[in-house]
Amino acid sequence: MYDNICKFLAEHFSLDFARLFVGQAVELTELSPRELSLEPIRADSLILLQSFDFILHLEFQINPDPKIFFRMADYRLRVYRRFPDKEMKQVVIYLRPTESPLVYQNQFNLDKFHHEFEVVRLWEQPTELFLNSPGLLPFAALSRTDNPVAVLTQVAQAVEQIEDPEEQANIAAASSILAGLILNQESIQRILRRDLMRESSMYQSILDEGLEKGIEQGIQQGIQQGLQQGLQQGFEQVAMNLFRSGMPVEQIINVTGLTRERLEELTREI
């Protein structure tokens, strides 16, 4: 879910991301991994944006990944093979604070091969960077602050000023979900309007996609026991996928309708 939210924001508010990572408001469009000839590695986490002569590669990470260093080098070579004349900037953005030394590494080395990329740890970035652009508002609470609740309150106030109803709903939903990485749901729901999340086309699309996959898997597994059991297994599969992604327990319960006891049983199995 977090990957999809970050992808949505980067693709729909590419000017905001260009200002932050490129330093200027460059018009960027999506570049599909399929255009790079080879099968993508973890395409769900990959964000490629391009202009006429420039490519911006973003990878958002909740937890450190020891494979990220190879992945960045691999995609740099793939882009060079397809677009040898285009400049490329690669950035790994870590969302949640951690003491892992992996989040401080920014290069891949293999014998005489050496590749570097940029690393951004959101919890070290000034909050002001994220408060003046709609597409960056959802990341503000994850920035450098001693009071994320106060920052999220500022985000909520900025969201209220967004005139377009759909954009307002999507930014509110993204802000609520990403804030869940560091804040409890009670605090978030007290600050951000829950009705806006339900109106968000982005949020509903992500839920529908996850629900559809989960139900399909459940039906395949439980078809001999009947449709009802299959649907139940589908919701349980969704719950396990969301738990693995790092979504808070309370939010999983709200999304899937499972009881806390059943969710605890499933997470013990994981």
Please say whether the beta carbons of 181 and 215 come within 8 A.
Answer: no
Q: Are 2 and 178 in contact (CB under 8 A)?
A: yes
Using pLDDT thresholds of 50, 70 and 90, give the confidence band for residue 265: confident
Residue 239: partners with Cβ closer than 8 Å, 6 or more residues away: 214, 252, 255, 256, 258, 263, 266
Do 182 and 144 touch, CB atoms closer than 8 A?
no
Q: Judge whether residue 90 has pLDDT over 60.
A: yes
Residue 5 belongs to what H/E stretch?
helix 2-12
The mean pLDDT value for 194-201 works out to 73
Query: Of the ranges 32-41, 186-195, 258-267, which one carries the lowest mean pLDDT score?
Result: 32-41
Helix (H) or strand (E) holding 195: helix 194-199
Nearest to 30 by CA among 58, 2, 5: 58
Strand partners, 120: 93
Give the list of residues 6+ apart from residue 190 with CB closer than 8 angstroms, or none.
none
15-29, 85-99, 172-186, 211-225, range with the lowest pLDDT = 211-225
Rounded CA gap, 175 and 237, in Å?
25
What's the pLDDT band for 255 if we cut at 50, 70, 90?
confident
User: What local confidence, expressed as pLDDT, does residue 97 receive?
Assistant: 94
Confidence at residue 51, expressed as pLDDT on a 0 to 100 scale: 86
Which of 156, 158, 154 lies closest to 133 in space, CA to CA?
158
Cβ neighbors of 187 (< 8 A, separation 6 or more) are 149, 152
> Which residues make beta-bridge pairs with 29?
50
How many Cα atoms occupy the beta-carbon half-sphere of 146 within 13 Å?
0
Residue type at 115? H
203 contacts: CB under 8 Å, gap ≥ 6: 169, 170, 173, 174, 177, 197
Contact 142, 98 (CB under 8 A): no
> Are the beta carbons of 45 and 93 closer than 8 angstroms?
no
* Predicted pLDDT of residue 23: 85
Pairwise CA distance, residues 213 & 201, whole Å: 18
Q: Rounded to an integer, what distance in angstroms lies between the CA atom of residue 139 and that of residue 262? A: 32
The Cα–Cα gap between 3 and 60 comes to: 7
Q: Quick one: tokens of 74?
A: 């691999």
Nearest in space to 151 (alpha carbons), one of 161, 139, 141, 162: 141
